[in-house]
Structure 1
Amino acid sequence: MSSLRNAVPRPAHKERSQPQVRKRFGLLEKHKDYVIRAKAYHQKEDIKKKLKQKAAFKNPDEFYFKMINSKTVDGVHRPKEEINKYSAEELMIMKTQDIGYVFQKWQSEKNKIDKLTASLQCTEEQPSRRHVYFAEDREEARELELQAKNKTDISAMHIPKDIKKKMDRSYRDLEARKSRAKDLEKLYMDMSMQKELQKKGRKRKLREDEILNPNGKPVYKWKADRKR
C-alpha cells in the first residue's frame, strides 16, 4: 500500500499569501524567512555576549600603540597621518651618508677585484726564462719551435690538482665580485640621481629623441640660473 501511495502524484502544498485585508502590513513572513531572521538574531546575541565578556575581563593597564596611532572617524578606526619628523636638510644629510656608504663598498669591491685579477695573472704566467736558439735553415727552426711548444704544453699539464681547485675557486669568486660591483655601481648611480632631483632648481626630463646615446635610463636637464 505504501508503494501505491507514493506512486500517486500529490498536489504541491503552497503557503498561504497575505489576505487582501492585511495587504497594507506588507508581505506575510514565511517559515524560511523566519529561520533566516532567527539565525541572524542569535548570531548577533552571541557576538554581544562575547564582547561583554571581553570588556568584563579586560586588563585596565593594557596598552598597544594603535591607541595613540589611530583615531575613530564615523565609528571606523583609521590610522593617523604620519608626520615626517625630519626636515629637508636632515633628510639630505642622511641620504648623503647612505650614498657615501654605497660608494665605499663599491670602491672596496673594485680594489678586491684588481688584487684578485693580479694574483691570478701571476699564477698563470710561465717562468720568464727565455732561451735563444739559432737554426741553420727553416726546417730546423720549425723543429725547434715545435719542441718549445711541446715543452710548454707538458709544463701546463703537470699543474697540481690543489692549485687547480684554488684557481677555479678564485675565478668563481672573481665573477661574483664583478657582479656585486656592477650592482653597487648601478645603485650608486640611482641614489646620486635621486639626490640631485631633490635639489632646488627647475629641471625637465629629456625625450628619447633629445638624448644622444639613449640607454633606457631617464636623463634630466637643469635650467641654468643666473648667479647674483
Structure 2
Amino acid sequence: MASPPSGASSEQDGIPVVDLAVLLNGDAGERSQAIRHLGRACQHWGFFMVTNHGVPEALQSAMMDACRELFGLPPEENAEFMDAGPMDPNGVDGLQVKHDGRWLLAKPIPGAFFVIAGDQLEIVSNGRYKGVLHRALVDREQARMSCVSLIGPCLDAVVEPVPELAVPPLGLGLEFRGVKYRDYMEHQQSNKLNDKGALDLVRVQKRPAILYT
C-alpha cells in the first residue's frame, strides 16, 4: 500500500495525501502535525487521499471482483442493485475535483481512498471547511467502476453550524442556517449540475453595513 514519503502528509499532483497511520499511531508531535495537515486539506481543498487506512488489499480486491460480477449481470438482473457511476479509483483516471476555479485530475494512488468533503461539513464548520465540487470523465477505452461509501447523519437530524465557530476568534457570525438533512438532500438531488445551488439555499444572507453620518 502506497505511503507519502514524509509519513504524515504530502501532495500528489497538488492534491493532499494524508497518512492515517500517523493520525492513529504516531506520537503526540506527529499526530499534531498530521491533524494540521488534515485541517488544511479540508479548509483549502475539501478533498484528499488517505493511505495506510487499514483496509486489507485482499478485501479491496474482493470488493472490486464483486462489482465486476455485478456489472457482468444482464441489465434486467442488476438494475435492482446497481446505480452506475464513473468515479472510482480502480486504476483508471477520470475523477476530477474543482480547486481555485480549475478542474484537476485526481490520479489514484494504489491502495489509497479518496475522501470528498460534503456540504454538511461546510455547514457544520460554518464555512471553515469546504465541500468540493467533483465530476468524472467517461473513458471510452477502459471500463471504470464506482465503489462509494456515503457518510451522513440520520435523515431527521438538523445540520447546523457549531456555535463556537460562529463567534470570535473563530467566526464572525453564522454563515448558514440549520436545515434538516432529509430536506437538504432532497433539494440537492433535485438541483442537478447547479454547482452550489443547494448550499446557497441555506446560506445566511448578510446585510450590507449601514453607515450613519
Same-fold call, TM > 0.5? no
TM category (shorter chain) comes to under 0.3
Larger Rg: 1
Higher strand share: 2
